[in-house]
Structure 1
Amino acid sequence: MLCLRLRHFALAALCCAVVLPATGQYTSHFGRNKIQYENFDWHVLETEHFDIYHYSEMQELAEYGAAFAEEAYEELQNRFNFSLTHRPPLIFYSSNLHFKQTNITPGFIPDGVGGFFEFLKGRVVIPANGNVHQFRRVIRHELVHVFTYAKVLRVIRDHRVPPERFLPLWFTEGLAEYWSGSPDESHEMIMRDAVYSNYLVPLSSIYRINGTFLMYKQGEALCRFLAETWGEEKLLRLIENFWKDRDFRHVMEVTFLEDFQEIDRKWQEWLRERYFQEIDDLELASIKARGVATEGFNAKPTFYRFADGSRKVYFVGNLTGYSNVYQVEVDSLFRPLGKPEILIRGERTDNFESLHVFESRMGISGDGKLAFVAKSGEADVIHVYDLVGDVLLATYGFDGLVAVYSPAWSPDGERLVFSSITGSGFSDLFVYDIPAGQLHRLTNDSYDDLDPAWSPDGRRIAFSSDRTTMGKHDAYNIFAYDLDEGTIGYVTFGERLDHSPRWSPDGRQLVFTSAVRGADGRYGAQNIWTAEAPVDASPEMASSGAGATVLLTESGHAPGGVSAGRRLRRLTNLTTSAFDPVWTEEGNLLFTGFEHMRFSIRSLPAADSLWTHPRSEEIVDPTKAEEPWTFARIDAQDREESVRYKKQFTLDLAQTIVSQNPVWGTQGGAALAFSDLMGDDKWFFTVFNNSRGTSDFLRSLNVAISRQQLHRRTNTAYGLYRFAGLRYDITDPDAARTFPTLWETIYGGYGLISYPISMFRRIEAGTSLSWDDKYIPWAQVDRQALLVSNSVSLVHDNVLWGMNGPIEGYRGSVLTAWTTDVLYSNVSYLTFAADVRNYWRLHRHITFASRGLGRMNKGKEARLFFMGGSWDLRGFPLFSVRGQKMWFTSHELRFPILLAPWLSLPVLAPLGVANLRGAFFFDAAHAWNASYYEPRLSNALRRQLNIGETVGAIGGGLRLNLFGGLVLRYDVGYRYRDGFRHRERFFKQFFFGWDF
């Protein structure tokens, strides 16, 4: 689970509106920061059916997207037999790094998310990644969701069924994948591996993988099977029939007139027939190649041989939850000599916020300098690490470049070539001259240029691109950029996906991966291939309009700078896929292999012999190439419909509540929330009444108006409020200890700011001015004050979360505040609070957690802090320990008992029961007011109030995650008093909540 900074900020704003003016107490909420680095200048392109939101730098891409959306609308309108009655907003970002800044969703967006459809306002949010084909496919995918949701609402209204019912996730996502295009290579890879490795989840149990990548691909395969077996119109019939039964299995039986178990059996049989017919002569990567790093998820290997003859393999991996750069020493046969060790710790500090595990390769120069990419702040940077000296040498960031991928060194070690996405949303090649500090652009067009690799002689750069004339059909070929001539030529050609080229040490061969599309339109496994390296040629040249030129023959076709008829050799015939091959000096091939839903680093020995005796050979002829391709687009320059975005607020939430209580009487209230389309600006309105009779109705009227603005890096919140009536306040020092009620009227205003220093640290500050009238008849308290409250805090959080709570990392906060009555001097006190929590991973599933907390309110009418209960001081009743000053420490050893209880008790599977863990704990705390030991109080009274002595608990407990979000806690142990000199009694506590 991920901590959401936006939610914490909203909660802090709400708490301050209610509590801050009266008390001057502040609570720092942990969580990482979602930072808005860019001030996007939004424009709206209005098409026939959509409003396309984009910023000016990506106008060309938005025009493509507008055409894709209209194209998809026409097709889906026919498929659904349904027309939309509204204009869905489509919000485009030019890169994933810009996409991560969106406020449309409050949560963090990880790498690899292609977009989302937001139900509340029907917004579709999609980033570009340089690949126009993928951009088109994601638009179609999300628009399937738009149509599905609208169709479901129509079915619900037509048949008057409860609105909480909806289609299962596997069907909605599977249908979106199926109707977004033909199966891509990733689909074939996953399904092929699931069938061969026997982890395919039956339809009857598909809820077990809800929300996973496997569910998406199995859902797509299911929809394709249903369409091919019973006809595509039956998919629409499933949507139209879903109202007939809450159990979707029965809906399927009604629609297909087949028993559900029979449908499940036929689908698995269909998959076996589809893939097992290809299994002859296939090879498992785990058998064909030696494992170098096989635990966890690992990718992007590279290699270096030190002066003393030792060898190390470097790769990016996720073995424990954080992504890191790893190293492992190997022998001459590339057998690992130990376990992988962390070289660079990622996702913990500002410099290495994200390492893009599956997106960016690393490069090593001849003198042992490792170049790799990490997100740092608003953009990606290239870090250079000296492997010999074991030190970070330099960090290079580039103005105007947002996402950076796959840096590769020139042979002289003075230049770096890499691909990058600019604000336009397109991916191009760049060269950075380190001594001169100059950046040179090699390509500048809408094609997707990836994975550059410098030739050993330094004259050419090989790269993968969809600029091939078959690129309109989603093909990628290998090209070579001639640095002397400024020309681009083909190395491979055809309707295939050629990626990740690397040169052989002698420069005579290029090794790459390729998945070839078969006659049935499906991609085969992605295997390792080689191609002859480019040689000199002197054909005519024609400008591509991109600053480089494309080589053409006399007939006007593009041969790639070489004679026609290039020989390609396939070295492997794997069951699934290989990625990122690297040719070592010894003639081995390092690569990433996918098998059994895991990415592993492997070594393929004797690559020269495989080249001599390949699994197959092909001759490709680039002279058949045609003119460059492009997609149609809607030109915004010639349309009056392209306008600047204007902020408009619409309703997010409207909720009312009425309650009856024998103590508090009848209470009622309402809450409204509004926000703009981008989620950057939010208004909150709250009104409620807690009067005990008609006579004090107006006196007990409570109103609050708040606004949050999140479009800048510094987030702000401010508001006005009036709170009045009978209150229950355990922090008020004048209220009764047993039942702390009081009459209080507060009205005023507040302001908050939150400035994120980085993803992991932020500074928060708040201020308020309020009139406070407090009345406690039994205590003869009738106090009025004009309160000014100010606070400032520093928060740090880089923890990694498991299913039950944090499992590794560090989080802490320090806060100071001052509250004073500027009119009567009835109130004046200082607040200090610090909370530090550390989590040490002793083993993959074992964590030692330690927490230290100190709080102090000192001065006139200083408020009380509180603790007690399962969330902090166990063994004591909830909130039973109260004092103006306190310290608390807790230590836990957390360990697994059953990671998947539903495997032992399948009946628990539908309940989402997971991760049964145990813990041994030690808690200790001390609270006091005037004096640490409170000598003015009797021992009996100290024990009754739980102050003036050190108390604690020792014991153990169980934790169980239910439904993926609710953690149940059961603790047993002994509670102690008098500095642990007196064991008081045995206790049992059952509650809920995350581990601290």
Structure 2
Amino acid sequence: MKLIKAYVCIFFIFVALYPQYYYFGRNKIQYTKFDWHVLKTKHFDIYYYPEMEEFVEIGARIAEEAYLEYQSRFEHHINREVPLIFYSSHLHFQQTNVIPYFIPEGTGGFFEFIKGRVVIPADGSYSQFRHAIRHELVHVFFTSKVNSILIDRQKLDHPFPPLWFNEGLAEYFSIENRRYPDMVLRDAVLKGYLRRITEIGEITGSYLMYKEGESFLRFLADKFGKDIILRIIENVWVDEDFTHVIEFVTGSSIEDLQDEWVLSLQKRLLTDIADRESARSRDVKLTEKGFNVKPAVYSSSDTLIKVLFISNRSGYTDIYAKSLGDKSNLEIIVRGERTHEYEAFHLMRSRMDVHGNRLAFVTKKGEHDVIHIFDLKAGRNLFDLEFPNLTAISSPKFSADGKRLLFSALDFGGYADIYFYDFDNSLLVRLTDDIYNDSDPIWLPDARGVIFCSDRGVSGKDGFMNLFSFNIVDKKIAPLTCGMENDISPSLSPDARELLFCSNREGKYDLYVLPLDEGFTPGELYVSGVYRITSYTGDTFDPVWVNDSTIVYTLFEDYSFNIMLRYLDEDSLAYVGQNYSVLPEVACWKPERLSGDRVKTRQIYRGKYSLDIAQGQLTQDPFFGSMGGAQIAISDVLGDRRYEILIYNNARTKSEFMNSFNFFIGRYSLGRRTNFGYGMYRFSGERFNYYEGFYDEKRVGAFFVLQYPITHFNRFENVVNLAYSQKDWYDWRGVRKAWIVENHFSYVYDNSIWGLSGPVDGSRFIVTLGYVVDVRYSNVSYYTVIADFRRYFRLRLYLTYAVRVAGFVSEGKEAQRFYIGGSWTLRGYPLFSIWGNHCFLFNQELRFPFITSVQLRFPRGKVNLGGIQGALFVDAGDAWESGFPGLRGSFGIGFRINIGGYLVLRYDIGRRTDFRKISKSTFYQFFFGWDF
């Protein structure tokens, strides 16, 4: 959790309900101290660190070229320098403070709308880096263009075009040559889950939405001409319903357009696979649910063979084992993403390997990736290989004797190269060292050479990966395949005579075999044809040999990845020749950099601040009267340093005006592992709580907050407050003055994963100790202890048993009061109606899907509201001053519906009880908020 949320925590220090508004959440940690610099070009301010200077100059040239192209395509000029923030790797990129949210594994960059910042990782691949820059710059131009149109038309409250158009446009403009159709789009057409444009809101934010949006815009451009896209953008103001805009510009109904689009996809994509068969008709399916990828083979005995694979079927990512030859259930070998040791798997990026009883696999652990060496027989991790200069690691591979471990890795500067580790000598050796993207290495017999994938071939600049061999002795590299295709995931047969790999050379990913005869020498040109061994409607990946006649692989079909078993035979081989007549030398292209007079300046980053938000509000209350105020937030370009300013006045009469000014000023430093903030405030005005009633309080002081994340899952927090407080209760209690010192320490843990309405698995808890004392008048002195434990047991994929046990104690002068009641705490009782300085709470829920999907249908389409979640609940608890009065409770059923991913509406029905008798009346409570 980012420290900016501590602003909420600090604010509630000054009101009576502070201890109840703590929060959970995992930690977004800034492990690395980056030495930020700025490269200024004609149209961009590029922020980077010196280790990635070559990628920065490459990215600068790509950006400038894209700017000129998009300036022409959009017929629009941007009157500012666009801030680009480059990271060398995805793991560095995940540390950014430009946005406070966690960045998932597959995100290749983002455009931040408030300040117009673009943030992108290079991640070792020129083509992916180029695509990400071009994609995000489309967002820059599109947003600027639409905003200028709406301003010119004086339609400032007009809705922005939908996300599918925004992202589809970015894909359409950024991908210059669509050589092959996308496999997800093909699968959607084949399996019937393609969404029409009027239904595309059902898949908002998904990869499929991106590809459908791109495909529909390509269809419009082919049908009406390329200028149709710009005409749609320029007429966005015509109607608030974007489909009406499309109809206005094209002169066709949206129903006719999408019918024609779907038909064109069916003709093109289904014709391509008309002569192919289903993999399930020939091969054995080993898995069913979730994403199951990256198989490896383990012989636990002479007769028992297990296939290991990585899967997220439980919500967490784990390593599973499936025995061949029997019908035993899946066995979990490694439980991932629950602890710091296996913090995060790279589900689609890194393969595994087995040698004897040792399993080598990669996970993120803190600042960088590590290689785990796991004992499969003992069921425990033996040791980890950590290399401080290597950020990301992929696909470890043991040598035949088990003494060396080969892998690909990304160094701090963003270069993706091949390495091996010598176990006997504890030595790390780098085999390649250049700008090219090298991955998926495997050993040749006797460790005399290596085969790997790389974009160093003639078509690599356009993103195509081919296979290459590397000679360990003379360091020579030679191509094994060549062409405008992706040849990836090599696997050597047990007799080292056949190289199995997957390739999309015929438009989709199939498995191929390249024979290796005695004439093959690593590092020297080897000319051979290849044989295709699969021709399926689905796409195949990650092939691994079980023995000379059996393989396992990953199949993508029906929007899922599953592990398949295939028995090879000679009849399945189809010869496919390769054209070597113009075979180029390796490393025949070099990415161009921006240099010379096109670079304005290079300088050290000193901090550049700008406004995040500035808003004011005036309210009128029949009892409290008028209130007016303003909120201002300022931060630097990187988001590492932030200022929050709050000013308001709550005077009810003219004479109170000067004394009723309130302000809050806070500064937060987020650029290091330890986040901290400090500031000052003045709050004065009338307050109310159930214990004290109405009173007037003036509080002036300063605060300090600190968060130290121990791991991704747990942290320490400290809040210190120094304040002068003056309270007036309007009665015999008179006026109380105090110079308050307040200190709270908390330990927070959270490894939970979430569903539609709240957590569904894992656990989270918080323990807080606090002490507040008046150091001048001794009018205030109390301590506070809070403990809140929550555990979620996933009984089935969609069935969760959730339990919360919480206790609150505060003792002393002006001790804290705790308030329960309502849908968040003790259901069946009015919100915050039960209070005391002691509190106990026990909640149980059985959470389940009640209705899978709710749709509202309109004449021109439908709105998908998602599903309705159900919960059977039993609550117990109470709050008291002195002497435990006994438990209050309730039981019943609740329903939750998630609106837009941000708001959960709650409706509970039940009966109250004191655990001696049950009330005769039924309560009905409607509220909002996530499940506990």
Measured against the shorter chain, the TM-score band is over 0.9
Residues 342 and 707 from structure 1, CA distance in 2 versus in 1: closer, same or farther, beyond 3 angstroms? same
Residues 866 and 975 from structure 1, CA distance in 2 versus in 1: closer, same or farther, beyond 3 angstroms? same
Partner residue of 2:342 out of 352, 359, 362: 352
Q: Where does residue 701 of structure 2 map in the other structure?
A: 748
How many residues align? The count is: 931
Mapped contact 2:9–2:18 kept (Cα < 8 A) = no
Q: Work out the CA distance in 2 between the residues paired with 1:640 and 1:269.
A: 51
Q: Where does residue 938 of structure 1 map in the other structure?
A: none
Q: Where does residue 551 of structure 2 map in the other structure?
A: 589
CA displacement, residues 547-570 of structure 1 (integer Å, 9 cap, x when unaligned) = xxxx9xxxxxxxx5144x312111
Q: Work out the CA distance in 1 between the residues paired with 2:469 and 2:535.
A: 26
Mapped contact 1:45–1:636 kept (Cα < 8 A) = no
- CA shift, 1:11, in A, is 3.3
| Paired letter, 2:782 | Y
CA displacement, residues 878-935 of structure 1 (integer Å, 9 cap, x when unaligned) = 00110001111001111112121339x7899855422212211111112222333xxx
Q: Where does residue 920 of structure 1 map in the other structure?
A: 872
Q: Where does residue 460 of structure 1 map in the other structure?
A: 449
- CA shift, 1:187, in A, is 5.2
Q: Work out the CA distance in 1 between the residues paired with 2:338 and 2:388.
A: 24
1:389-788 equivalence runs, <5 A? 389-516=378-505, 524-533=507-516, 561-563=524-526, 565-606=527-568, 608-609=569-570, 613-621=572-580, 624-626=583-585, 628-635=588-595, 641-730=601-690, 733=691, 735=692, 740-788=693-741
- CA shift, 1:726, in A, is 1.1
Q: Where does residue 340 of structure 1 map in the other structure?
A: 330
Mapped contact 1:187–1:217 kept (Cα < 8 A) = no
Mapped contact 1:456–1:503 kept (Cα < 8 A) = no
Q: Work out the CA distance in 1 between the residues paired with 2:722 and 2:757.
A: 40
| Paired letter, 1:350 | H
Partner residue of 1:836 out of 771, 779, 789: 789
Mapped contact 1:24–1:790 kept (Cα < 8 A) = no
Moved more, 493-502 or 912-921: 912-921
CA displacement, residues 804-844 of structure 1 (integer Å, 9 cap, x when unaligned) = 11000000000100000000111111110000000000111
Q: Work out the CA distance in 2 between the residues paired with 1:144 and 1:24.
A: 45
Q: Where does residue 937 of structure 1 map in the other structure?
A: none
| Paired letter, 1:701 | F
Mapped contact 1:976–1:985 kept (Cα < 8 A) = no
Q: Work out the CA distance in 2 between the residues paired with 1:472 and 1:207.
A: 35
- CA shift, 1:164, in A, is 4.0
Give unpaired runs (5+ residues) of structure 2: none
1:144-293 equivalence runs, <5 A? 144-182=138-176, 188-293=182-287
- CA shift, 1:428, in A, is 0.3
Q: Work out the CA distance in 2 between the residues paired with 1:183 and 1:781.
A: 79
Mapped contact 1:493–1:622 kept (Cα < 8 A) = no
Q: Where does residue 544 of structure 1 map in the other structure?
A: none
| Paired letter, 2:714 | R
| Paired letter, 2:655 | S
Q: Work out the CA distance in 2 between the residues paired with 1:20 and 1:415.
A: 60
Q: Work out the CA distance in 2 between the residues paired with 1:185 and 1:890.
A: 56
Q: Work out the CA distance in 1 between the residues paired with 2:519 and 2:52.
A: 37
Moved more, 389-398 or 505-514: 389-398
SS in 2 for 1:899: strand
1:992 pairs with 2:928: yes
| Paired letter, 1:316 | I
Mapped contact 1:667–1:689 kept (Cα < 8 A) = yes
SS in 2 for 1:227: helix
Residues 358 and 880 from structure 1, CA distance in 2 versus in 1: closer, same or farther, beyond 3 angstroms? same
Q: Work out the CA distance in 2 between the residues paired with 1:761 and 1:196.
A: 45
SS in 2 for 1:913: strand
Mapped contact 2:642–2:668 kept (Cα < 8 A) = yes
Mapped contact 2:12–2:18 kept (Cα < 8 A) = no
| Paired letter, 2:850 | I
Mapped contact 1:470–1:495 kept (Cα < 8 A) = yes
Q: Work out the CA distance in 2 between the residues paired with 1:637 and 1:389.
A: 63
SS in 2 for 1:351: coil
Mapped contact 2:770–2:785 kept (Cα < 8 A) = yes
Q: Where does residue 882 of structure 2 map in the other structure?
A: 930
| Paired letter, 2:907 | Y
Q: Work out the CA distance in 1 between the residues paired with 2:543 and 2:179.
A: 18
SS in 2 for 1:475: coil
Q: Which 4+ runs in 1 deviate beyond 4 A? A: 20-27, 183-187, 534-538, 636-640, 905-911
Q: Work out the CA distance in 1 between the residues paired with 2:918 and 2:183.
A: 63
- CA shift, 1:25, in A, is 4.5
- CA shift, 1:962, in A, is 2.3
| Paired letter, 2:811 | K
Q: Where does residue 541 of structure 1 map in the other structure?
A: none
Q: Work out the CA distance in 2 between the residues paired with 1:845 and 1:768.
A: 44
SS in 2 for 1:900: strand
Moved more, 906-915 or 56-65: 906-915
Partner residue of 1:310 out of 304, 315, 326: 304
Residues 653 and 526 from structure 1, CA distance in 2 versus in 1: closer, same or farther, beyond 3 angstroms? same
Mapped contact 2:41–2:599 kept (Cα < 8 A) = no
Mapped contact 1:901–1:908 kept (Cα < 8 A) = no
Mapped contact 2:123–2:410 kept (Cα < 8 A) = yes
1:70 pairs with 2:64: yes
Q: Work out the CA distance in 2 between the residues paired with 1:89 and 1:28.
A: 35
Moved more, 443-452 or 478-487: 478-487
Q: Where does residue 547 of structure 1 map in the other structure?
A: none
Residues 720 and 186 from structure 1, CA distance in 2 versus in 1: closer, same or farther, beyond 3 angstroms? farther
Q: Work out the CA distance in 1 between the residues paired with 2:793 and 2:839.
A: 26
- CA shift, 1:27, in A, is 4.7
Q: Work out the CA distance in 1 between the residues paired with 2:93 and 2:281.
A: 40
Mapped contact 1:491–1:534 kept (Cα < 8 A) = no
Moved more, 980-989 or 399-408: 980-989
Mapped contact 2:441–2:450 kept (Cα < 8 A) = yes
SS in 2 for 1:395: strand
Q: Percent identity?
A: 41
Q: Work out the CA distance in 1 between the residues paired with 2:143 and 2:235.
A: 14
| Paired letter, 1:774 | K
- CA shift, 1:507, in A, is 0.3
Mapped contact 1:912–1:963 kept (Cα < 8 A) = no
Q: Work out the CA distance in 1 between the residues paired with 2:581 and 2:817.
A: 79
- CA shift, 1:537, in A, is 6.8
Q: TM-score, normalised by structure 2?
A: 0.97
Mapped contact 2:188–2:194 kept (Cα < 8 A) = yes
- CA shift, 1:981, in A, is 4.5
1:803 pairs with 2:747: no
| Paired letter, 1:633 | R
- CA shift, 1:21, in A, is 8.7
| Paired letter, 2:562 | S
Q: Work out the CA distance in 1 between the residues paired with 2:771 and 2:581.
A: 75
Q: Where does residue 554 of structure 1 map in the other structure?
A: none
CA displacement, residues 59-108 of structure 1 (integer Å, 9 cap, x when unaligned) = 00011000100111111111111121111111111111001100101110
Q: Work out the CA distance in 1 between the residues paired with 2:358 and 2:339.
A: 22
Mapped contact 2:63–2:133 kept (Cα < 8 A) = yes
SS in 2 for 1:394: strand
Q: Work out the CA distance in 2 between the residues paired with 1:714 and 1:604.
A: 52
Give unpaired runs (5+ residues) of structure 1: 518-523, 539-550, 552-559, 933-947
Mapped contact 1:17–1:719 kept (Cα < 8 A) = no
Mapped contact 2:199–2:862 kept (Cα < 8 A) = no
